[in-house]
Chains A and B, each alone.
Chain A
Amino acid sequence: MTWIFENWERFWEVTGVHLRLSVVPVLIGFLLAIPFGWWASRSQRARAVLFPFANVLFTIPSIALIVITPVLIGVKILDEINVIVPLTVYTVALMIRSVADALSAVPGNVIAAANAMGFRPLRRFLTVDFPLALPVTIAGLRVATVSNISMVSVGALVGLGGYGQLFTEGYQTDHTEKVLAGLIGTVVLAVLADGLLLLIGRLLTPWARAGR
């Protein structure tokens, strides 16, 4: 722990980078996953294509995707985009399933009632289907956020920023304290982000706890 306090500025700096590299992909990936998840919840055929595809995307090792991305999109290997793109891909792969499952679990009679009341499709989606799907969606978002926060470190193996830099530097200089500092930072960040999402979920879906 002493390393953290003795090197406070450096620790803050890598914390900021780490946070940016993990949160940006969650946001982009979540937005991208909503239409795909909606599609998969509506059509059996879309499900049969999207789910296996998402599974395969998820199996590509992060280190491999991070080294391949610069070649695919033509940027330098030390560009932060090389972490953001792969983590976005993983978030989409994970969230398609969550969003689809969440939307499929909305009770049919609620949807029928909304239709009968004359809700148009887009308004029904935004004010009925999506809010009711939020608890399962946020559960998926929590998994995606925590796994992103722990995966950003892999970028350091090719020289990118975040807590992972403390791992590689600690390894090269045989400095256990430094590795531990990065590990503690990662876990604390993950727990905080997870708790924050849990809280947001509770505030957004007060009905989920009603009548218990």
Chain B
Amino acid sequence: MGWLFDPANWSGSTGIPLRLLEHLGYTLLTLVIAALIAIPLGAFVGHTGKGGFVIVGLSNALRALPTTAVLILVVLWAGLGDFPVYVALVLLAIPPIMAGTYAGVRAVDPVTVDAARGVGMRESGVLLQVEIPNALPLIYGGFRGAALQVVATATIAAYTGAGGLGRLVFDGLALQDFGQMLAGAVLVALLAVLVDLGFAGLQKLTVSPGLRPVGTGGKR
């Protein structure tokens, strides 16, 4: 663990703080783009009930897509840089968010949806004010799953020369510097835990208290 605590590695343009920020940057922008694509798609299909099998099939197929291959293909086509990293990571983040949103909207009690229509809400109101707020716990479930995967996988970006904490792993590998590789692994895991805690906090703030899981109680 010596490498991790050596002050020399904590400053400069290849220092740990910069790598952490790069990694966090990849993660957050990826999640924003993926959410902007996946939540409307999942919500729309969940609301209309049409094409559910397309969503499920598409998420499963995307899940099987190896991120390394996508990254390399986009690099071969578009050249080095951050763009291939975002393409690969967004494709990774879409399936869990889309599946969570779809499942969440589908799982809203039909009685509630019916009541919303009964009091005269338009379809857009039913979706935006009733279904999505009620689906938030599952949407967050998918979103946080995606966040964990993106933090862990952003490491691979360094294989094609991009930044982030993966630099420590690949540079360490090239230099046979085990301490540096270990530092990279530990920092990614720590960052993932912190990011998840952050979104858990956000979830607490934005999900209606009426939707908190109720303890089932009793021992089995």
Question: How long is the Cα–Cα vector from A183 to B61 in the complex, in angstroms?
Answer: 12
- Out of A63, A68, A147, A190, name the residue touching B156 (CB < 8 Å): A63
Is B64 a contact of A146 with CB atoms below 8 Å? yes
B207 at the interface (CB under 8 A from A): no
Flag if A149 contacts B173 (CB, 8 Å). Answer: no
Distance, CA A183 to CA B218, complexed state (A): 49
Q: Are B181 and A157 in contact (CB under 8 A)?
A: no
Q: Smallest distance from the beta carbon of A196 to chain B beta carbons, Å?
A: 14
With A71-B178, A111-B220 in contact, is A183–B155 under 8 Å at CB? no
Query: CA–CA, A55 to B65, complex, Å?
Result: 22
Contacts of B181 in A (CB 8 A): 64, 67-68
Taking the closest CB of chain A, its distance from the CB of B66, in whole angstroms, is: 5
Cβ of A36 under 8 Å from chain B = no
- B190 to chain A: closest CB distance in Å? 9
Q: Which secondary structure dominates where chain A touches chain B?
A: helix
User: Which residues in B have their C-beta under 8 angstroms from that of A176?
Assistant: 73, 76-77
- If A59-B152, A150-B65, A157-B68 touch, does A183 touch B185 (CB 8 Å cutoff)? no
Residue of A whose beta carbon sits closest to that of B154: A61
**Also in contact, A171 and B76, with CB within 8 A (given A55-B148, A56-B193):** yes
Q: How many residues of B contact A (CB 8 A)?
A: 40
Residue of B nearest to A60 (CB): B189
What is the CA–CA distance of A194 and B62 in the complex, to the nearest angstrom?
Answer: 13
**A211 sits at the interface (CB 8 A):** no
Pick out which of these stretches binds chain B: A2-10, A23-31, A162-170. Answer: A162-170
Task: Specify which chain A residues have a CB less than 8 angstroms from the CB of B173 in the assembled complex.
Answer: 67, 158
Contacts of B68 in A (CB 8 A): 153-154, 156-157, 164, 167
Q: What is the distance, in angstroms, from B145's C-beta to the closest C-beta of chain A?
A: 9
Q: Is A208 an interface residue (CB 8 A)?
A: no
* CB of A91 within 8 Å of the partner chain: no
**Chain B residues whose C-beta falls within 8 Å of the C-beta of A153 in the assembled complex:** 66, 68-69
Residues 106-164 of B contacting A (Cβ, < 8 Å): 148, 151-153, 155-156, 159-160
Q: Bound state CA distance, A104 and B217, in angstroms?
A: 12
In the bound complex, what is the Cα–Cα distance between A182 and B65 (angstroms)? 10
Report chain A residues within 8 Å CB of B61. 187, 191
Contact A64:B196 (CB < 8 A) given known A146-B60, A174-B76, A180-B73: no
Name A59's contact: one of B75, B76, B189 (CB within 8 Å).
B189
The answer to whether A157 touches B76 (Cβ under 8 A) is: no
Q: Mark B167-199, 1 if CB is under 8 A from A, else 0.
A: 001101100001001101100110011001000
| A14 interface hit (Cβ, 8 Å) | no
- How many angstroms between the C-alpha atoms of A180 and B202 in the bound complex? 39
A59 pairs with B151, CB closer than 8 A: yes
With A64-B184, A64-B188, A68-B185 in contact, do A58 and B64 touch (Cβ < 8 Å)?
Answer: no
B152–A62 contact, CB under 8 A? yes
Residue contact B66 to A167, C-beta cutoff 8 Å = yes
A55 touching B196 in the complex, CB below 8 Å, given contacts A63-B169, A146-B63, A167-B66: yes
The listed residue (B76, B166, B196, B220) touching A63 by CB distance below 8 A is B166
Closest 4 CB pairs of A and B: A64-B185, A190-B64, A59-B192, A61-B155
Q: Could you give 5 example pairs across A and B, Cβ below 8 Å? A: A59-B148, A60-B152, A63-B170, A64-B185, A150-B66
Contacts A150-B65, A171-B75, A187-B61 given; 19 further ones with Cβ under 8 A? A41-B220, A55-B148, A55-B193, A56-B192, A58-B148, A61-B152, A61-B169, A64-B155, A68-B181, A104-B220, A146-B64, A147-B63, A150-B67, A153-B66, A157-B68, A171-B76, A179-B72, A191-B60, A191-B64
Please give the residue numbers on chain B whose beta carbons come within 8 Å of chain A beta carbons, in ascending order.
60-61, 63-70, 72-73, 75-77, 148, 151-153, 155-156, 159-160, 166, 169-170, 172-173, 178, 181-182, 184-185, 188-189, 192-193, 196, 218, 220
Interface residues in chain A, defined as those with a beta carbon under 8 Å from any beta carbon in chain B = 41-42, 55-56, 58-65, 67-68, 71, 104, 108, 111, 143, 146-147, 149-151, 153-154, 156-158, 163-164, 167-168, 170-171, 174, 176, 179-180, 182-183, 186-187, 190-191, 194
